[in-house]
Each structure stands twice: as C-alpha cells, then as structure tokens.
Structure 1
Amino acid sequence: MFIRSDVKNILGLLSRRDKLILLSLTVAQIVLSLLDLFGILAIGLLGLIAIGDASKIFEDSKFILFRNLNWMNDMSTDRQLFTIGILIVTSLLLKSFISMFINRKIVFFLSKKSAVISSDLLSKFMSLSMQDIYSKSFPEMIASIKTGVGTLIIGVISSLCLLISEVFSLLIVLLGVFMYDYQTAIILVLLFGAVSLVLYLTTHTKSRALGESSTSMNLALDNKLMELFTSYREIYVKNRLNFFNNKIRELNMKLAHNSAELNFIPYISKYVIEISLVVGAFLILFFQIIQSDLVQSIATIGVFFAAGARVSPSILRIQQSLVVIRTSYGSIIPTLKLINLVSTVKPQTQFRSKTIIKNPIRPLVQVSNVTYFYPGSKKPALTNVSLDLPEGSLVAIIGPSGAGKTTLVDLILGLLSPSSGSIKISGENPIDALNLWPGSIAYVPQDVTINSNSIRENIMLGYESTEFTDEEIIESLKFANLYQKVKNLETGLDTLLGEKGFKFSGGERQRLGIARAMLSKPRILILDESTSALDNDSEKMIINSIKGMHGVVTVVVIAHRISTIRDSDLIAYLVNGEIISQGNFQHIRNTIPNFDNTSKLI
C-alpha cells in the first residue's frame, strides 16, 4: 500500500511528543478491550446461572476471571442474575464511553496537528525558488495544502490508530473466548477471518482506484472551472459556453458515480458480516448440541452472540479503516509528492511587518558580474551583468522582448538566485534585505493581481487591517492618481471590486497596484511595465510623483514609453541577456543603432 519513503515522510510530520501521545491513546484503547472481554464472558456466566447449578458456577475453571466473585454463591439466583447483569451493562457501557472519549481526543488532537502541518507545508513550499513554485499546478498545490493534509492526518493516521487498537482488541477478545471454549473461538476466527480477507481483497484495490480517480477528476474539474471563470470573455465570444458546461457536467457525473461506489462499500461489509454472524451461530449450536449438554450449549451460544456483537463492529471498523486508508492514499498522492519535495527545505524566517530598524536602509543596489541560467537551460538568461543603482536615482531597464529585463528584476528582488556573481541591497543580499527592512522594497508587476475584496483590503494586501490608517491609504491613492475615482464611489474604500477587479479598468488596476506598493513608503520601488495600461495624463501624474521622490527613493523602471524613461538618471539597454550600453537617454540614442525605430519608444 504505502512505500517505505511514504511512511517515513508521514511519520516525519509528527514530533516525538506527538507520536508518544498517539501511542498512549492507542494503548489505552487496547486496554479497554478487557472490559469487553469481561462483559462477553459474563454473558455466558449469566446463561449458566439462569439454567444451571448456580452453587458451583464460580468454581468452574472456564470462569477463572470470575473466581473472585465466589461470594455471590450465597445469593439467590435472582440476585445473582441481577448483579451479573449490572456488571455486564456497566463494563460494556464504561468501555463504550471511555472509548468514545479517547477517540474524540485522537480526532481533535490530529485535527489541530493537521492545521499546524498544513501551515508548515505552505511555509516550506513558499520557501522554494520561484521557478519551482511556478512549475507546479496551483489547483493541485491548493488541494494538497488545503484538503490533502487533512485527509492524510485524519484519513490515514487517525484510521491507522483505530486499526491498530481494533486489531489488538479483537485478539484479546478472541483469546478470552478461546479460554472459555476453544471450538467457539476457532469458529469465530475462521469465519470472520475468512470474511474479512474476502472483503479486504474485493474492496481495497477498488477503494484506492476510486480515490485516485476522484482526486484526478476533482483537479480536472477545478481547472475547467478556473478556465471558464478566467477566460469568460473569450469563451463567450467564441460561443463555447456549452462546451464547458458539458465537460463540467461530465466530470460531475463521474464524481457522483465514484462517490456512490465509495459510500456503498461499508454497506457490503455490514450485510456480509451480519449473515456470517447468523451462520456462525448455527454452526456453534450444531457442534454444541452434538458434544455438550443443553445447558452448556445455551451458555456457549450466549458467549458466541456476545462475542459476535463486539467482534462484528470491530471487524467493520477494521474494514472501514482499511477502506479509508486505501481511499485516502489514492487522494493524497499529490500531498505526498509535495511533502517529498519540501522534506529538506528550511522555511524562511517570517517577515516582520512594520518593525523599526535602528539602521535604516540605504536605497543602493549593486549588481556585480551576475550570470543566471534557468534550470535545464544551457544558454544563460543573463551574462556577466553589472549595474550600480545610486541612492535616490531613477533607473530604466530597456531592451527587446526576451532580453532578460524581468529576469534581472527577479534577481534584484531575491526571487531568483544568481548562478554566479552577486547582488547587494544596502550591503545585504536581497532576501536578508527584505527581512531587515520590511516594506522598504516594493514591486509593481505589469499584471496587478486584484481580488474580489474591497479597495481597502486590496491595497492592504498582506497586512492586518489595523496596521495602516485610512489617511495612509488615501495618501498612497493620491500618489497613484486614483483618489478622486475612489472618493466618487458610493462606498469609497469599502467598495467591493469583484473577481479580478472587474469593476476597474486595466489602467485603474495598475494604479491600484502602485498605490499598494506605496502604502509602506518604500525606499526602493521597482516598476515592471507598471504604467503600460495608463492613459497619458495618468502616466504623467505618476511620473511627476516619482520625480518628486528623487534623491530619496531609488526607482527601477522597465518601460517602453519615452515619457517614462526620458528623464532617467541611468538607462541600461539589454540584448540577449547582456547590457550593451548604459548611460542617460541621449547616450543610449547615440550608441544604439536605429534605437528610435527598433525600440518603438518615440
């Protein structure tokens, strides 16, 4: 079922203390089975008292567990029956209540561990390199972290604890019955053993296949829904909505069939075991009538039914645990792959939010002889790039598509690590700089991610609602030339933007991204084509705002408009991953042949 590395990785999710707690609770469940054994044999005792010679019963070697009750010999038969009945009810109820309490402890304990492990797994995953993160299917990663961990912990580990305790409890009960009547015990073992084996062989492969199939189809369904929602305009115009509706309906039908199959499996086990119990009782009665007197036969039948009444639920729980484990294993394969992927990853230090640093950041960026290869590529994306960004300067990085501009920005931000060379921000490597001066470095992409929440929540992405005032939010909106738009909205900052911010135009979404970046008053601001969707007036106002920060904030711009880069202190022109010229605007025009025509900047 599980390969060795899977078991190791699953157990590795639990600390030594966690394992000891689970072991203690499981052992407690096993010990409780003694109460079951007492109740089962006491039922046989009850039958003998009812129709046998009560004066000698407590000296019978078959009732070694009850020899300490020989003080009951002086009681009347009715009093003995009543007393034994009370003991039976008490032992069985006590076992059930304590078992329920322990199971609740196990489930709640593992549920909390599931939340912790899920957070740790996310932290490790987000500590991977950017290319590793983006090489994964996001719906699959979301499912692995959101539901996969819960299925792993509750569906596998919890079921495994239940399986172990039920197996040992079953063995203890069978051993006790064997001490009473070995023929009854043998019939129980052979009958229910054969039934359990047949049920396991007929359901375990099917359960895993259904689990794997359901996981695959759920991911396919999520992907189709994502495609439908994110590409609605194109799909609507192409008149392909019915295609998606039919595909989604088809996947839902298959999932419904799988769900019905999985939900019916426990019923098969239930009815088969019920039939087995009746057949076993007939066999016991047949052998006992042949070999024993009627009194002994009735007592033995009582023990068989009592044992069967406790054994049957145990077998059902064992069978159900095996089905759950098999089904869960089929659905947690992506989660196991993720655990494997991040097993050696050390989570990055949690970024602080607005901590005051004694030594403030100097907005100085130094790129020294940086070369970078993407994984699996023999050709460098950047070759021996060196660039000094003076404090408070406006620096433009330009060049044709595929020149390496965004790769250089990702390296400066610490999203990628140089294959050779170094990058320093205020004398520190980028990751340390982000930790030392949180909020002092800001980035605005070309395609700004907007969620369906309010304008306020979108601007405060990654911050608690109490960390910034409305006045600070308004100040950032003014910088991005978006305040008047928000002010004129009926609900202002509380206006909900809808999925992907559809209530805002492309230019307004870019301005919202700029406002988001400026909220933390950064000392280094990187704009990656962040004004490409703006109209001329909006861009002019933002450029004027940027100029107003000259000498205080270092601004790095990737742009294709002359109005954006003309007044830059430094322009770096990249071609095929190399800086072939750097200087002011006029210098670039003079040194790059056909610059005006090829760049389309003018």
Structure 2
Amino acid sequence: MLSNIRNLFYLVDFPVKTKLALAVIGAFIVSLLEIFGVAATYPLILLVSGQSIESGPLATLAQLLGTTDRQRLIALTGIIVVSAFIGKSLFTIGFRWWQSGFVNKMELSARVNLLGLYLDSPYPDHKKRELSKIHTNLVTSMAQAYRMSIFGGLSLLTNLMTITLMLIIVFILSPQVAIIAVPIFGAVGYAIPALSKRQLEKISHQITKADQISWFSSMPALSAFREMRLFSVGDQFVEKYKRGVEMSAKAQRQQGLVNELPKNIMEIVFIVSIASLAVFMFSTRDQAEAIATMGVFSVAAVRLMPAINSAMASLNVVRSGTAGVLLLNREIEYFKGISRYSALPSSNTVFTGDVDVQGVSFQYDPAAEPVLKNISISIPANKTVAFVGSSGSGKSTLVDIILGMLPPTQGSVTCGGIPISADLKAWQQQLGVVPQSVYVLPGNLKENVAFGLPETDIDDAQVISALAHAELNELVDSLPNGITEDLGQDGGRLSGGQRQRLGIARALYRTPKLLVLDEATSALDNKTEHKITQTIEGLAGEMTIVMVAHRLSTIKKADIIYYMKNGEVVNQGSFEELSELNPEFKELVELGKL
C-alpha cells in the first residue's frame, strides 16, 4: 500500500519529499507538546495531594522553579500545564492548516495533471476509454487517494507518535500499570482495524462503482435530452441513477458504522481499565502516590483515548481510499509507459506540396484483420480529393492516418517528400478538420470559432473572416451582440446547417493548408447540404481539401475520387470516370438520383 501511495507523487508537479519531511517533524512536535502537558500534570497532582517537597520529583521541580513554597509551586506548575496545552492547541491548529493546504495542493496538482495526461495520450487509446471511468478517476478516485489516503496517513502518523510517547510516560511513572495497560490497549487497537480492513476496502470499491453508475445514467440523459424526451425513457435513466445513489448511500452508511465502532469499544475498554487500575493502585500504594498516579493516568488516558480513536479512524479513512489509490496507480503505470504528444519535438517544419500515402497498412490489434491494406495514393496540393465507399471500407481510418492521429502499421505519409512523422506537431498545426458532429462549446460565437484559445489571444478580424468564408455573415448579423453572442447550451440557438458552417469557420480560423471534411454534410437536409457544398467548392484552389462522403452530391466536382472497399483503393478518377469504371459506384450514383 505504501508503494502505491508513493506512486501517487508522479501526478504532483512540485517537490513532495521535503514537505512530507516537514509534515513528519510537525507531527512529532505536536506529540511532544501533548506529552509535555500530560507529564506536567503529575507534579501538579503530587503538589495538590500534599506529597513532600523535600525529596523525589517535587524536590527537582522546586529547584528548577527556584521556590519551596507549595502554593507558589502549584501556581507556577499550573501555569506551565495550561501554557503547554494552549501552545499545543495553537501549534496543532496552525500545523493542521498547513498540512491540509499541502495535501489539497497535491490533489489540485494531481487532478490537473491527470486531465492533461488523458488529453496527451495516444488517440487509439483514447478511443477505448469510457468517459464515466475518466470522470470517476478525476473526482472520486482523487478524493480517495489524496484527501483520504495521504491526509489520513499523515493524521495516523501524528496519532501513533502521540500514543507511543504517551505510553512511554505511563511506563516511566508506573511500569506495572504500563505492563497491564499496553497489552490491553494494543490488542484492542490491533484487533478492531484488522477486523474492519476487508469490509472497508469492499465499501471503498462500492462507492467508486456507485459513482460510475450515477454518472453513466445522469450525463447521457442530460446530453441526449431530446432523444430521452422523445423516447420517453427519462424514468429508466432516473431509475439507474437511483440505483447508484442508493448503493452510495448504503456504502457510506456502512462506512460510518465501521468508523464509529472503534470509538465506542475503546470507551468501554477505557472505563474498565480505569476501574481496574483504581482497585490495583489503592490496594498496593500509599494514598498520595495512588492519587497522583491515578490522576496522571486519567489525564493520559483522556488524551490517549482521542488519539487511539483518531488513529483507528485515520486508518479506516486510509483503507476507505484503497479503491481510489489502486485505480490511479493503474492509470499512472499506463501513463509511464506511453509516449506523450506534448513530448514530441517540433522544429516548426513548413509542409508544402503533394501528400503521398505510400504502402500504408493498418490494424488496431496484431491478431485482428487489417483495416487498411497496402494503400498508395497521392493527394495533389490545392486540389480536392474525396474518399467514398461503403461503411467499414476504411475511409475514416485512412483519413486519421493522413491527419497523424493514427500511426500506420506499415508504410508512410509524406508531404512534399517530408514524412509527417518527422514533425507531427507542425503537420497538425497546418490542418483543419470538420467532423460529422460539430461540438459547440459553452460560450459565445467567437470563442467557438477560436476553439480553446484564451479570449486575449483571439483575433476578432480573423474570426469575422473565417465566418465570412463559411458564409455565416447572416447569422452574425442576426445576433444582437454579433460574434460575442452566447450560443446557448450545446449550441441550441444554431440550426444543423449553421452548426456545420461553424465547424468550417473553426477549421478556417487557423488558416489550414489541408482541410478535411469527414462526413461533414451527411446529417443535413438536401438544401442545406447544397449550400455547404457550394461553400466548400468556393474554397477549392485555396487549399488542399480532403472529403469523406456517403452522399455523392457533395463530391461531384472533386478533382480525384478514390473508391475504397475492404480496406483497399479499388478505383480512382473523376466523378464521371468512376461512374464508368466501377459498377458499385455507378449504382450509388443511380440510387442518389432517386
């Protein structure tokens, strides 16, 4: 478990070891102050009970304080005891504040860095991930790992130091009492956490699973609100959400019970021990010494009980965070073994010329059938090229390889004779992509066109130019605040055609040399599709355009059309040439006329 917790520091972007050392030192100081206050009560009780000042610990105290007057000694000792407890309390408050800030800063850093790692991971791996698990790791697992396991572990360390030093004091004052008390409290302190360990780990996994169920039922319903309403399945999503919430509530109730049991059991042990000690002391010692020892033991026990309870509670908290620690460790081990996109070098290579795909094959898994098979094609600069074919023919995979999102299993992609893999970042900075479904960010129009750039870095003139090229001037004029108008939740104020034009404007804002449209018009009506096709045709010659299309009306004027089947390019040519060369393409053309 300690190695797993230590592994969590991988996600923290500031030095941790020094602050952990300070946390240990601070915990030791808290324990020392606690013990000093308890130890100081022993001479105070001896003084109050009338013990002789001429010998023993009181003689030493009188010499240190420079007086043999009992009343003065009582007053001075009382001030020392009170000062010790006040100092301990003030230091503990400040130390806990610092410790809490340290752990919170660790969690904040880890959350931010983990999201960065997810966004930095290879595209094929990202496609396999479930959003609900990413959400769980960023929220629930983080809280369990840092707030519960690490902060709980530091609290446990402080309490263990206090308990150890307290038992040492008891042993010094009365070895016989310590010999009896230590085994009793030790056995109980060991048995209770040992018995609850497995249950707490089980509860931890239940809470994590419950969070996934709740997220997986609530977010899809809210994201697909229209379908949810039209299909009248809201009750089903609510029912699934209810199951997750109920599971979480049940697990947290069990966790609360398990955390409360140690405190109540220890209180029973404490009362029984005090009663047994009282019988033992007053039957074997003189009254004054018995009263003093009982007094110190009572004070120690009063301070020891919260420490033991807190130690067991902290141990339970640490164990409750087990699931989060294990989940994050699994992710950390994965991220340690991958090549991160941000780590790729870039010399800002300027790619110009034709894009050549040479002998490219691709398969997602070594044991699986190839998705692409030995494809060699050319995409001339500033020409329009289209890929068509039935679903599963490999069109989108080939485009992802051209974009540099997927590395080919065999072969290469070059631009102007330079492999795009030589400077992948520079290559991708020269691309623009319009997907089939354009995601609309929460915010205004210009923020959506600039997509992800800070507002201070957005060029308004370039935004307006991109919108004009995408033929969205009419939309801008209709908005009261122009490009600063908020577009509503998920772009609710945009029509389907406007959403796709926004995607085109977003791609054009970065002045790409290669524009890729991946099924960008397949979900639109014929009239809107025709308008967007005209927009795309208006860009022809200004940049290289690559289109993936099912509907052939969008690619009639393409310079080259590649027809794909079963991961291979079987024919190529203009629209008219393919209609003559390929019977399947001709059939698609005839169906399109219908």
TM over 0.5: yes
Q: Find the counterpart in structure 1 of residue 329 from structure 2.
A: 336
Q: Find the counterpart in structure 1 of residue 383 from structure 2.
A: 393
> Deviation of residue 596 (structure 1)?
2.0
Q: Does the aligned pair in 2 maintain the 1:196–1:315 contact within 8 Å?
A: yes
Distance 1:240 1:535 in 2: 27
Q: Which amino acid letter does the alignment assign opposite residue 397 of structure 2?
A: T
Q: Find the counterpart in structure 2 of residue 578 from structure 1.
A: 568
> Deviation of residue 385 (structure 1)?
0.8
Distance 1:156 1:520 in 2: 45
Q: Find the counterpart in structure 1 of residue 459 from structure 2.
A: 469
Question: Which aligned pairs between 1:514-529 and structure 2 lie closer than 5 A?
Answer: 514-529=504-519
> Deviation of residue 230 (structure 1)?
3.5
Alignment RMSD (CA, Å):
2.8
Partner residue of 1:221 out of 210, 214, 217? 214
Q: Per-residue CA shift, 1:272-300, capped at 9, x if unaligned? A: 33333322221221110011011011111
Is 1:420 the counterpart of 2:410? The answer is yes
> Deviation of residue 345 (structure 1)?
2.6
Q: Find the counterpart in structure 1 of residue 90 from structure 2.
A: 97
Q: Does the aligned pair in 2 maintain the 1:27–1:165 contact within 8 Å?
A: no
Q: Find the counterpart in structure 2 of residue 37 from structure 1.
A: 35
Distance 2:531 2:3 in 1: 58
Is 1:367 the counterpart of 2:357? The answer is yes
Q: Which amino acid letter does the alignment assign opposite residue 512 of structure 1?
A: L
TM-score w.r.t. structure 1 length? 0.90
> Deviation of residue 458 (structure 1)?
2.4
Q: Per-residue CA shift, 1:89-135, capped at 9, x if unaligned? A: 22222223223323322221222222222333233333333232121
Distance 1:67 1:346 in 2: 68
Q: Does the aligned pair in 1 maintain the 2:432–2:516 contact within 8 Å?
A: yes
Distance 2:319 2:118 in 1: 26
* SS of 1:508 mapped into structure 2: helix
Is 1:589 the counterpart of 2:570? The answer is no
Q: Does the aligned pair in 2 maintain the 1:163–1:317 contact within 8 Å?
A: yes
Q: 1:239 to 1:534 in 2, by over 3 A?
A: closer
User: Which shifted more, 399-408 or 525-534?
Assistant: 525-534
Contiguous gaps of at least 5 residues in structure 2: none
Is 1:122 the counterpart of 2:115? The answer is yes
Q: Does the aligned pair in 1 maintain the 2:166–2:300 contact within 8 Å?
A: yes
User: Which shifted more, 567-576 or 238-247?
Assistant: 238-247
Indicate the percent of aligned positions where both proteins have the same amino acid.
Answer: 28
Q: Which amino acid letter does the alignment assign opposite residue 359 of structure 2?
A: N
Q: Does the aligned pair in 2 maintain the 1:365–1:389 contact within 8 Å?
A: yes
Q: Which amino acid letter does the alignment assign opposite residue 435 of structure 2?
A: P
Report how many aligned residue pairs link the two structures.
592
Q: 1:139 to 1:363 in 2, by over 3 A?
A: farther
Q: Find the counterpart in structure 2 of residue 448 from structure 1.
A: 438
Q: 1:114 to 1:208 in 2, by over 3 A?
A: same
Q: Which amino acid letter does the alignment assign opposite residue 530 of structure 1?
A: A
Q: Per-residue CA shift, 1:370-400, capped at 9, x if unaligned? A: 0001125431100111122222111111111
Q: Does the aligned pair in 2 maintain the 1:121–1:342 contact within 8 Å?
A: no
Question: Which aligned pairs between 1:534-545 and structure 2 lie closer than 5 A?
Answer: 534-545=524-535
> Deviation of residue 323 (structure 1)?
1.1
Q: Per-residue CA shift, 1:449-496, capped at 9, x if unaligned? A: 224433333222221112223332222222222331242134443444
Partner residue of 1:251 out of 244, 253, 256? 244
> Deviation of residue 27 (structure 1)?
2.9
User: Which shifted more, 367-376 or 186-195?
Assistant: 186-195
Q: Find the counterpart in structure 2 of residue 326 from structure 1.
A: 319
* SS of 1:442 mapped into structure 2: strand
Q: Which amino acid letter does the alignment assign opposite residue 6 of structure 1?
A: N
* SS of 1:567 mapped into structure 2: coil
Distance 2:261 2:373 in 1: 66
Q: Does the aligned pair in 1 maintain the 2:388–2:548 contact within 8 Å?
A: yes
User: Which shifted more, 415-424 or 553-562?
Assistant: 553-562
Q: 1:146 to 1:439 in 2, by over 3 A?
A: farther
TM-score w.r.t. structure 2 length? 0.91
> Deviation of residue 234 (structure 1)?
3.7
Distance 1:178 1:322 in 2: 25
Q: Does the aligned pair in 2 maintain the 1:167–1:318 contact within 8 Å?
A: yes
Q: Find the counterpart in structure 1 of residue 545 from structure 2.
A: 555
> Deviation of residue 601 (structure 1)?
4.7
Q: Find the counterpart in structure 2 of residue 183 from structure 1.
A: 176
Question: Which aligned pairs between 1:63-462 and structure 2 lie closer than 5 A?
Answer: 67=60, 70-72=63-65, 74-349=67-342, 360-362=350-352, 364-375=354-365, 377-425=367-415, 427-430=417-420, 433-436=423-426, 439-462=429-452
> Deviation of residue 143 (structure 1)?
2.0
Q: 1:594 to 1:300 in 2, by over 3 A?
A: closer
Contiguous gaps of at least 5 residues in structure 1: none
Distance 2:138 2:232 in 1: 35
